[in-house]
Structure formats: structure tokens, C-alpha cells
Structure 1
């Protein structure tokens, strides 16, 4: 009998291109769009020199702008951490009329131009606005104050917390909560001991991204802050003003500080995401 030669293995056709092409395109995009501007900023900052850099950063106006930015971003992040967790909880755990509409509205800050958001917030919280007319008799001023800056930052960054926690809550196995109930655990005990450890990595990632987004906010803050030097002037706006004054060294120094903070937050966010993936793998 004639032996039949084994058929040659048939290579499965892939819909997407190969690893080499996709990796090359990805690295090209990252290099041109992300790394080159960052490298250019670092090189520009290196030309300033340590002494001049310290002089720029420690100048009273620069210190005031950086302090306002950090404090307002912290205020906005604290609010987003609590309110964003609450909104994610409501969207996942309850069914009510208009739930899909409310879920879609969570992404409005992503789709809405930040300048439009700033104009809308200014119109609402001005003295003759819908909210401002109610708050002003109580002695509460929002426009042209740090509260307005924090409000604009919170509006543009809260979706990060909601969208980070929401899918984790949806995937959380209810059997753990049911087991805790059968053991007589209180609701707050169940949340603290069962739910919070499961959502904590994702929650911290959302908080970190929210803080980073607040630090870099510009368009929404410009209108409601009033941009008063030493009072309501944020760091990104001061860098823009330095560019208009052709003070490239001053703009680069301020931008480098914001870049450093953003990189630290990026590393922290990646570490938290890696921890979340390890937790999910262990729980699977």
C-alpha cells in the first residue's frame, strides 16, 4: 500500500495584521504623539538650569498658582471619590425609570467641550444665575473663587471614578454578600469587609485618574475662575500666559512640574491596575 503523506498544517487566517505591523504602528504613534512632545519639554526644561528653575517655581505667583491647582484638584477629587462611588452603586444595584438616560449622562463631560462646560457653570453659579441667585443671599460665592475652580475640575473628571468602579460592581459575585447576610453581618459590615476590598483597586484607579485630569484642566476653569493672579489663577493658565509673554523658560518650568506630577500619578494608576488584575485572577 502506498503511504499517504500527512497533510500540511493549515495556518489559520487572522483578521488583524501580524504582531510586527501592529507593534510598529503602535510604537510609531506613541513615539510621535506622546514621547516626542514630552522629550522636547524635558530638553527645554534642561536648558533652564537648576538655579533658574528653582527661581521660577518658587516665585510668589507661580507658588500661588501651583498651590491653588493642587488644593482645588484635591477638593474635586474628594468629592468625585464619594459621589462617583455613589453614582456607580446606584447605576449597578438599582432599577428605576430613566436609568439608561442617567447612565448616558455620566459621559457628558467627556463629550462636551470644556470651554462650553465652563461657560455653562459660570452662567449657572453667577450672582444672577439659577444656582447663584440662591447661594448669594446665603453668603456663598462660587464664581471667581477656589470653589468655582474645584467645581469645574469635578465636573470634567467625575466620569473617571464612575466608569472605573461600575464594571467591577457589575462583575461582583452576589454570593459573597448572600453568605455574609446568612452569617448575620450588618449592611455596613458587608460593604466594608466584602464589597470595598473587591472594588478598592478600581476605585483608587478612578480617583487617581480624576486627580490627574483635574490638574490639567484648562478650558472649564478659565471662565469660572476669573483668572485673578495670586487668587484664582491655575498653573496651566499661568503657563499659557508665560507663553504669550514669550517667557518660554517660565512656561517650560511650570509645565515640567505638572508633567512630573502627572507621571507619578500615571505610575500609581498602572500599579493599581496591575493589582486589580491580580486580584481578579485570584478570584476567578
Structure 2
């Protein structure tokens, strides 16, 4: 029997090219960061990581990214549901606007949000008399991360919703299930792997976001100073060990969180028998 022809080269060549590509693009740069941070020694490493200013910036970056990702999971799912299940005027325009944060330069997004929520901005001028300040606070940072993270959830959940057969819901309704039971027992378990994927992508993007945040954050030390800004500041001061150490800590924390999310996603996929493509 003749061997079936393949469009791509054989397994050995493909695997070798893949490993070489990943090594050059991902593994070698990350290894260099780890090696540079280890060079400061344990005492220097502890001194850098025990800095209150650095710890506050890490807490702010991860905390706001987590809150923004959770909000995006809720409202991104609702937006995806409307785009899939309903027909209304302007649907195509709304569907296109979802991808706007992907195409819009992050600096432009930061400037636009700051002009809206600043004390003299279009929206901020009405919030300030109420004692609500958005710009130059963690609230403003969270809004910026929601803006840049919403497409990840919508575009991850939308295809899964499209594949769900409405007959399942109709059958459950015919058997006596109410709307809440249909959502929690049928729709949510199917969507869970996609929701976790969208959450992970939005969270990862939020942790490392810089351009859209620095304008609306105000960059006040111990208050609105994000971790990526700390890295940039240390690089400008030629303090490369501190910059690489902060980067390594962010990388390790992000990796652990994403690993846990992937484990939960794999468990949810086994339960439902579906995988996120």
C-alpha cells in the first residue's frame, strides 16, 4: 500500500521546525530573563521582591486584571448571546465593533478613555460632583482592561454558542425545565470551557497591558502604578536586574494561574465531551 501523501512535511521535520521556532521566539528570551534575574543572588532577589512599591504594583496589576476578566466573562457572554441568538438593526456593526480593541492602538484607547473619565471629561464631569473619580484610580485601570479584554471573551464564546442546537433547549423545556434550569444544566456546562478560555486570555492580556493603562492610571506610586510601568522605569534607570526580577515574578504568577485555569478547563471539557477550538 502506498503511503498517503501529505500536504505538510513529515512528522520529524515538522516537529523539528516547531521546536526550533518556539526556542528562538519563546524559550530562549524567557530563559535569558530568568538567568539575568538569578544573577543578582538570593539576597538581591529578596531585596527587590520585598519592596513595598513593587508589591503594590503587582497587587494592582493582578487585582485589576482579575476583576476586569471576571466582568468580561459575564457581560461578554451576554454580548455573544445577543449576537448569536437575536436579529436586530445594527447587528453587523455591533459585531464589527467587538473587534475594535484588537485593531485600535492601545495608546489611542488610553487617551480616549482618559478624555472621557477625567474630572473634566464628557462622563467624568458628571461623576465628580457625585464623589466618584474614575480616571487616575484603580477603577479607571479596571475600565481600561475591560475595554481591551472584552473581545477575547466574545470571540471565544460566540462560536460555541453558534454550535449549540436550540433543539436541546426546546427538548428540556418540553420536559418541564424552566429557564433557569435550562441555563444552568444545559447551556452553562457546554459554555464552561469556552468561558474559562476567554477568562484566561482576557486576564493574561490585562496583566501585561501597558499602553491603554498608563494614561488613565495617573501612575501614582503605591496607588496607581502598574507592574509593567515598574519594569519600564527600572529599564530607564539601567537597573536591569530589578526589571528582569519583576518580569520573572509576573511570569511565574501568570503561569501558575493559567495552569490552574487550563486544568479546570480540561476537567470541564471531559465532563461535557466538548473542546474549545
**TM-score (norm: length of structure 1):** 0.90
Q: 1: CA distance between counterparts of 2:240 and 2:65?
A: 25
CA distance in 2, matches of 1:32, 1:266: 22
Contact 1:205–1:272 (CA under 8 A) maintained in structure 2:
no
* Aligned counterparts of 1:234 and 1:53: Cα–Cα separation in 2: 20
Q: Which has the larger radius of gyration?
A: 1
Runs of 4+ in 1 over 6 A off after TM superposition: none
Describe how 1:52-71 pairs up with structure 2 within 5 A. Answer: 52-71=44-63
1:33 deviates by: 0.7
Task: Indicate which of 113, 120, 124 corresponds to 2:116.
Answer: 124
SS in 2 for 1:261: helix
Q: How far did residue 50 of structure 1 move?
A: 2.3
User: Are 1:212 and 1:265, in contact at CA under 8 Å, matched by a contact in 2?
Assistant: no
Structure 2 gap segments, 5+ residues each:
none
Q: Secondary structure at the match of 1:127?
A: coil
- The separation in 1 between residues aligned to 2:82 and 2:49, in whole angstroms, is 43
Distance in 2 (alpha carbons) for counterparts of 1:86 and 1:140: 27
Displacement of 1:78: 2.1
**Residue 98 of structure 2 corresponds to residue 106 of structure 1:** yes
The 1:156–1:139 alpha-carbon spacing in structure 2 relative to 1, beyond 3 Å, is: same
Aligned length: 274
After superposition, residues 1-284 of structure 1 pair within 5 angstroms as: 12-275=4-267, 277-278=269-270, 279-280=272-273
| TM-score (normalised: structure 2) | 0.92
Stretch deviating more after TM superposition (160-169 or 14-23): 14-23
Query: SS in structure 1 opposite 2:273?
Result: helix
Unaligned runs of 5+ in 1: 1-8
In structure 2, the residue corresponding to 1:210 is in which secondary structure?
A: helix
Q: Secondary structure at the match of 2:121?
A: coil
Within 2, Cα distance between the matches of 1:138 and 1:196? 38
- C-alpha distance in 2, partners of 1:103/1:176? 26
